[in-house]
Homo-oligomer: A and B are copies of this chain.
Amino acid sequence: MNGNSIGKALTFTCFGESHGALIGAIIDGCPAGLPLKEEDVQIELNKRRPGFTEISTPRKEEDRVEIVSGVYKGYTTGAPICMIVRNIDVKSKPYKTIMVKPRPGHADYTAKIKYGGYNDPRGGGRFSGRITVAYVMAGAVAKKLLNLIGVEVLAHTVQVGNIRVESKISYEDIRRNVYSNPVRCAVPEVAEKMRKEILRVSREGDSVGGIVEGIALNVPAGLGEPIFDSLDSDIAKMLFNIPAVKGVEFGAGFQAASMKGSEANDQYTIVDGKVATITNNAGGILGGISNGMPIKVRVAFKPTPSIAKKQRTVNLESMKEEDIKIVGRHDPCIVPRAVPVVEACLALVLADHALRSNRIPRIIKIR
C-alpha cells in the first residue's frame, strides 16, 4: 500500500492539492450504523478555519464538506466514506517561481527532486498545510466512533515562541477556552500574550513556532498492538505527518532523560476501585499499550517557513545563489490552526486501535 493511506482497521486515504479542484478524505473500515451528517464534519472543519484575520492568512476558505459516498439515510453503510471540500479561493500566481528558486524551509526543493519537477507547485500542492483539511474530516468520523466508548480528545496551544502556559490547567479549562480565542490556548491571559507575539512577529515579516498538547481522556487500558503498531509509535507517526512538526513526546518526554527511575516510574494506586497511577510520566502508555490514564502528547511545530524577510536560496537553473522574499498569504504562526489537526490525528489513531481491539462493534446499533 502506498503512502497516502494510513490506519489498519480504520483506513484514511487523503487526496487533492492545495490549489487543485478539491481536498478529499476517504475513511474505509468505519462500522455500519454510525449516525453521520455533514454537520458533524463541518463543526470540526470550522475549528480549523482562521480565528482572527489579523493573525492568520487572509485566504478565504469556506471549506464546506460534502459526503459523497458511504452514508445512506443518515447512517454509515460500512462502505468507504468519501468526503470532499472544494477549493474555491485560489490564487496561484505567487507560486510560479518556486520550482526554480526553492523557498527555505519548504518542501519545494525536495518535492522537485522526488517528482522530477512534475509535482503541482500551486500553493505547495500536496505539501501544503491545506491537506490537513482532509485530516480534520477523517478525524471527525473517528471522534464519533470514539464517542461511542466515551473517549474524549482534546488539544490546546501550550507554547508560541517563548510564551508558555506555565500554570496547571484543568480539562475543563481546555474544553471551555480553547476555541474561544484565536490562538487556541486554554488560559485566556496567556492566549492574549500569544496573540500579541504573533502579531509582533508578523509585523516584522517573520513567523514563529510553538507547541500543541494533545490529550485523550477515558481511553480504555489495553489499546495498542505490540510491537511495531504500539500506540505511541502510531500516534507519533500520524503526528509527524502534520506539516511543520519537528518533535513529539509522550508524558515526561525529553524530561524523562534527566530523571531517575524512582522519579519517572508511575507508581500504582487504586482510585474508585480501579487501578490507576499516582503520576502520569508515561503519558498513558506503557509498553506501547494504553494503561487507562490520560494520554498526553506534546507536538513541536517549527515557525511557518513562508516569511516576507529576505532569505538566501539557490536558483536551480543557473545554480547560483539568489535572494528570495516570499509573497502570498500565509499564517505567521501555524500553531493555532494545528490544534484541531492534532485532535484529528489523535482521534484517528485511537479509533483505529479501538477497532483493532474490538472495543467498537462492526455494526453499531443505536437507532
Q: Which residues 245-272 in A have Cβ within 8 Å of B in the complex?
A: 245-254, 256-270
**Is the beta-carbon distance between A261 and B300 smaller than 8 angstroms?**
no
CA distance A17 to B254 in the complex (A): 29
A80 at the interface (CB under 8 A from B): yes
CA distance A63 to B289 in the complex (A): 28
**Is the beta-carbon distance between A246 and B256 smaller than 8 angstroms?**
yes
Q: How many chain A residues touch B (Cβ–Cβ < 8 Å)? A: 146
A357 at the interface (CB under 8 A from B): yes
Q: Which of B29, B264, B316 contacts A275 (CB 8 A)?
A: B316
Chain B nearest CB, measured from A121 CB (Å): 8
**Is the beta-carbon distance between B16 and A268 smaller than 8 angstroms?**
no
**Is the beta-carbon distance between A254 and B300 smaller than 8 angstroms?**
yes
Q: Which residues 280-339 in A have Cβ within 8 Å of B in the complex?
A: 281-283, 285-291, 300-307, 309, 311-314, 316, 319-321
Chain B nearest CB, measured from A231 CB (Å): 9
Q: A82-B16, A236-B233, A289-B110 are in contact. Are A260 and B5 (CB under 8 A)?
A: no
Chain B nearest CB, measured from A31 CB (Å): 9
Q: Mark A190-216, 1 if CB is under 8 A from B, else 0.
A: 000000000001000011111100000
CA distance A357 to B3 in the complex (A): 12
Q: A115-B363, A358-B362 are in contact. Are A283 and B11 (CB under 8 A)?
A: no
**Is the beta-carbon distance between B286 and A109 smaller than 8 angstroms?**
yes
Residue numbers in B under 8 Å from A6 (CB-CB): 228
Q: Which of B28, B106, B287 contacts A5 (CB 8 A)?
A: B28
Residue numbers in B under 8 Å from A20 (CB-CB): 68-69, 72
A13 at the interface (CB under 8 A from B): yes
Chain B nearest CB, measured from A183 CB (Å): 14
Residue numbers in B under 8 Å from A139 (CB-CB): none
Residue numbers in B under 8 Å from A114 (CB-CB): 32, 78, 222, 224, 226, 289
What are 28 A-B interface contacts by the 8 Å CB criterion?
A21-B68, A32-B116, A33-B116, A33-B118, A72-B119, A77-B126, A79-B126, A104-B267, A105-B264, A105-B286, A110-B222, A110-B291, A113-B291, A114-B226, A159-B258, A161-B257, A208-B261, A228-B238, A230-B241, A247-B247, A248-B249, A249-B254, A253-B300, A256-B302, A263-B303, A267-B313, A270-B321, A281-B302
Kindly list 20 other residue pairs between chains A and B, CB separation below 8 angstroms, not including A3-B226, A159-B257: A1-B7, A2-B9, A3-B229, A3-B230, A4-B80, A14-B227, A15-B26, A77-B119, A79-B126, A104-B268, A105-B264, A110-B224, A113-B222, A206-B260, A228-B238, A249-B249, A253-B300, A256-B302, A263-B303, A270-B320
The 4 A-B pairs of least Cβ separation, nearest first, read: A107-B287, A247-B249, A3-B229, A207-B261
